Amino acid sequence: MCGIAGIIGFHPHAQDLARSMQQCMVHRGPDSEGCFHNAWASLAVRRLRIVDHERGDQPIKNEDGSVIAVLNGEIYNDTDLRHTLQSCGHTFFSRCDTEVLVHGYEQWGIDGLLQRLDGMFSFALLDIHKRRAFIARDVFGEKPLYYIAGQKYFAFASEMQAMLSARVIPMQIDAASLHDYFRLHYVPGPSTILQSVHKLQPGHVITIDGNTGVWHSRCFAKIHPVKTQDSLPDAATTVRALVTKSVMDRLRADVPVGTVLSGGLDSSIITAIAAKEIPGIPVFNMGFSEEAFDESSAARTLAQHVGAVLHPHTLTPEEGLRTLPKVIASMDEPCGDQALLPLYLLAHDAKTTVRVLLTGDGADEIFGGYAYYAHAGQTQNFLQNLWREKEVTDSGFPLVSSVAQRQFLLSAPKKYHRFRMPNFRRNDALLMAQEEDIRTWLPDDLLMKTDKMTMASSIEARCPFLSVPLAEYALGLPSHYKRTGTVSKVVLREAFCDLLPPEIYRRPKQAFAVPIGTWLRGHWRSFAEDVFRLQQDDGCRPNACIALLQEHMKGADCARLLYAILAYRLWFHEHSHSGNKAPVAVSPSTCSRVLAR
């Protein structure tokens, strides 16, 4: 795992800027740093050592130094690729998976290399002889990569705030992205919250001419559902084999590995499989002092059942408030996903014990786990009416705000531009919804959240459910293998019913929620009022923010939107005041003084 950055083409301060971005990402790679510079390219990298501590530092070169690569992520099939390349005459210097990239490019070219990779990654690769550079991102978008194109250069980094702090990019809010944020509580790619800055889309590669900085982007991979006629028992057998293999692939490391255990089905399956391979594996759970939101008893049951060592943490509103500014300072973009808080603390707990955490991300998308997918089984007219009323996204995901609320909250309201009309006449409405979430919600919210919150504590997160063969098989299954009535993830439950306690595999899907609504009416209220009253040029109307909080205090449920506003206003304050250094979190105890500056 690494933080990577670079500038391709001509920029008078390319080397200094690359190094400056590198120094803003020490948390992504506290173990070593490396750089490469020539007349048309500057690369910089920070490394978190997971495999081959002694010889795996980056950048990695081929035998004659004509191909150079930096990698953020893991290539899970690097051993197989290494053996193939060695049989073709290539000599390897290390056990590091990054070295597979340089020799694979030599042997197969960029397209042949990308088609063979199984992993989570964003990487940059230089072809010195052809004066050409490539940057690529994995098909699910597990590892982020941001970029901006100048007139004669192309700059990129694993973190947008590294580009901002190094002054590679200006702090200019994009009005359309701001509206998208208040619709969704995240900014969908390829846009970002800032003008001129983009996210490299999942499964895409950009080719850059080192002489001119001219570039073009294209898709190299998509997830294609594989239709099957398997019976439910046969499908369950296949799912079990695919999930087990994916977990085993992601346990490989030269450092201690643990799991995130919420107590739900997905994380319980991963933990149960991992515990067979690593007896006494450390597992980390986040509970809440509010009983209605707490799943820690289920986590304790599962840990005892499989012999894992549970590390529990109970989050209180006081600790949540102390932690919130640190969370915001760790985010490249504003994100209104409330699970950021507990995940940040969980990773902070884990860093003294492990370097790698396995998570359950992706299971709901590929197996149809979300409650709102139940709409996919209803009539076409029902879905079309929901969409026309702008209450949901194309997948059924409920929006954070209405058009009227956005016009009230934002100082420069724009005409609403809705997304394309979904194809509700498609034979499989559930699959349509799943694919839409995999394209947007998964990479731009869930995986971004997981990456930022774990890397803030120098932890590498791995997602076993995001295996291409597993996802393509699961997505291609009949809808009733995914959902029947109130039962979700039918085939996944069937596949692992003998491995889990009955109270775990029979549990209905429970959305991971944080009691933000309660906290805003209590311990968080004063802090929220201070933030909402801020006079800053972020596009929000302070009086409207306060009015919405007052509605919530009177009993309306405005928690999702209020948290999205709080996260955005804090994010803007942190990053607009960060100058040429990485943001430093505001302390709630000195909130009024600091926010007044």
Distances (CA, A) of 443 to 177, 189, 296, 451: 16, 8, 27, 10
On whether the CB atoms of residues 546 and 553 are closer than 8 A, the answer is: no
Residues 285 and 187 in one domain: no
Residue range 166-175, pLDDT digits in tens:
888 889 999 9
What is the percent of the chain where pLDDT is above 70? 90
pLDDT band at residue 597 under the 50/70/90 scheme: very low
Distances (CA, A) of 376 to 372, 429, 437, 456, 490: 8, 5, 13, 37, 16
Q: Using the 3D structure, point to which of 442, 470, 505 is the last residue of a domain.
A: 505
Dihedral sign for Cα 307, 311, 314, 315, please: negative
User: In this predicted structure, what is the pLDDT of residue 501?
Assistant: 93
Pick the closest to residue 362 from 446, 295, 242 (CA basis): 446
Q: Cα separation of 71 and 59, whole Å?
A: 8
Q: Using the 3D structure, point to which of 153, 187, 219 is the last residue of a domain.
A: 219
Q: Cα separation of 534 and 80, whole Å?
A: 55
Which of 384-393, 401-410, 561-570 has the highest average model confidence (pLDDT)? Answer: 561-570
Q: Find the helix or strand (DSSP H, E) in which 54 lies.
A: none
User: In this predicted structure, what is the pLDDT of residue 417?
Assistant: 52
Judged by average pLDDT, the poorest of 76-80, 115-119, 495-499, 582-586 is: 582-586
User: In this predicted structure, what is the pLDDT of residue 54?
Assistant: 72
Residues 458 and 312 in one domain: yes
Q: Cα separation of 459 and 462, whole Å?
A: 10
Judged by average pLDDT, the poorest of 107-111, 279-283, 396-400, 551-555 is: 396-400
Query: In this model, does residue 424 exceed pLDDT 70?
Result: no
Residues 76 and 173 in one domain: yes
On whether the CB atoms of residues 77 and 58 are closer than 8 A, the answer is: no
Residue range 580-594, pLDDT digits in tens:
344 334 444 444 333
Kindly state whether residue 74 falls inside one of the protein's structural domains: yes
User: In this predicted structure, what is the pLDDT of residue 380?
Assistant: 55
What is the percent of the chain where pLDDT is above 90? 76
Q: Identify the CATH number of the domain in which residue 435 sits.
A: 3.40.50.620
Distances (CA, A) of 23 to 2, 34, 46, 162, 169: 12, 11, 8, 8, 16
User: In this predicted structure, what is the pLDDT of residue 372?
Assistant: 87
* Average pLDDT of every residue of the chain: 90
Residue range 456-480, pLDDT digits in tens:
999 999 999 999 999 999 999 999 9
Distances (CA, A) of 201 to 53, 182, 444, 574: 31, 21, 10, 26
Kindly state whether residue 582 falls inside one of the protein's structural domains: yes
Distances (CA, A) of 142 to 245, 258, 335, 429: 19, 18, 16, 26
Distances (CA, A) of 258 to 201, 264, 269, 349: 29, 16, 13, 12
* Domain range for 162: 2-219
Distances (CA, A) of 37 to 7, 40, 42, 126, 301: 10, 8, 4, 11, 54
Kindly state whether residue 398 falls inside one of the protein's structural domains: no
Higher local confidence (pLDDT), 577 or 591: 577
Q: Cα separation of 169 and 148, whole Å?
A: 8
User: In this predicted structure, what is the pLDDT of residue 165?
Assistant: 85
Residues 434 and 557 in one domain: no
User: In this predicted structure, what is the pLDDT of residue 53?
Assistant: 67
Mean pLDDT of all residues in 157-184: 92
- Quote the distance between the C-alpha of residue 430 and its chain's center: 23
| Bridge partners of residue 312, in order along the sequence | 285
Mean pLDDT of all residues in 24-33: 91
- What total of structural domains would you count in the chain? 3
Residue range 35-60, pLDDT digits in tens:
999 999 999 999 888 876 677 688 99
Within 10 angstroms of residue 326's Cβ, the number of other Cβ atoms is: 18
User: In this predicted structure, what is the pLDDT of residue 411?
Assistant: 87
Residues 195 and 338 in one domain: no
Kindly state whether residue 388 falls inside one of the protein's structural domains: no
Annotate 481-545 with DSSP letters as a single string: HHEETTEESHHHHHHTTTTS-HHHHTPPP------HHHHHHTTTHHHHHHHHT---SSSB-HHHH
pLDDT band at residue 215 under the 50/70/90 scheme: very high
Q: Cα separation of 239 and 111, whole Å?
A: 29
Instruction: Give the three-class secondary structure for 288.
Output: strand
Instruction: Give the three-class secondary structure for 442.
Output: helix
Name every residue whose Cβ is closer than 8 Å to that of residue 239 and which is 6 or more positions away in sequence. Answer: 470, 473, 474, 491, 492, 495
Residues 321 and 271 in one domain: yes
Residues 209 and 238 in one domain: no
Kindly state whether residue 406 falls inside one of the protein's structural domains: no
Pick the closest to residue 120 from 203, 189, 53, 192 (CA basis): 203
User: In this predicted structure, what is the pLDDT of residue 429?
Assistant: 84
User: In this predicted structure, what is the pLDDT of residue 398?
Assistant: 87
Q: Using the 3D structure, point to which of 458, 483, 505 is the last residue of a domain.
A: 505
Query: In this model, does residue 490 exceed pLDDT 70?
Result: yes
pLDDT band at residue 386 under the 50/70/90 scheme: low
- Counted residue by residue, the chain has a size of 597
User: In this predicted structure, what is the pLDDT of residue 212?
Assistant: 87
Annotate 327-371 with DSSP letters as a single string: HHHT-SS----TTHHHHHHHHHHHTTT-SEEE--TTHHHHHT--G
Query: In this model, does residue 526 exceed pLDDT 60?
Result: yes
Residues 152 and 298 in one domain: no
On whether the CB atoms of residues 134 and 207 are closer than 8 A, the answer is: yes
In one-letter notation, the amino acid at residue 296 is S
Mean pLDDT of all residues in 523-537: 96
| Bridge partners of residue 34, in order along the sequence | 45
Across the beta sheet with 60-61, what order do the strands follow? 60-61, 67-75, 119-127, 132-137, 204-209, 215-219
- Tell me the pTM: 0.93
Residues 19 and 154 in one domain: yes
Higher local confidence (pLDDT), 395 or 510: 395
User: In this predicted structure, what is the pLDDT of residue 135?
Assistant: 98
Distances (CA, A) of 537 to 166, 318, 409: 22, 29, 13
Kindly state whether residue 561 falls inside one of the protein's structural domains: yes
Within 10 angstroms of residue 375's Cβ, the number of other Cβ atoms is: 18
User: In this predicted structure, what is the pLDDT of residue 415?
Assistant: 54
Task: Taking each helix axis as running N to C, give the angle between helix 265-277 and helix 296-306, from 0 to 180 degrees, rounded to the nearest 10.
Answer: 20
User: In this predicted structure, what is the pLDDT of residue 462?
Assistant: 97
On whether the CB atoms of residues 47 and 30 are closer than 8 A, the answer is: no
What φ, ψ does residue 260 adopt, rounded to 5°?
-90, 125
Kindly state whether residue 381 falls inside one of the protein's structural domains: no
Residues 145 and 178 in one domain: yes
Residues 124 and 9 in one domain: yes
Query: In this model, does residue 576 exceed pLDDT 90?
Result: no
Kindly state whether residue 551 falls inside one of the protein's structural domains: yes
Q: Identify the CATH number of the domain in which residue 73 sits.
A: 3.60.20.10
Residues 476 and 520 in one domain: no
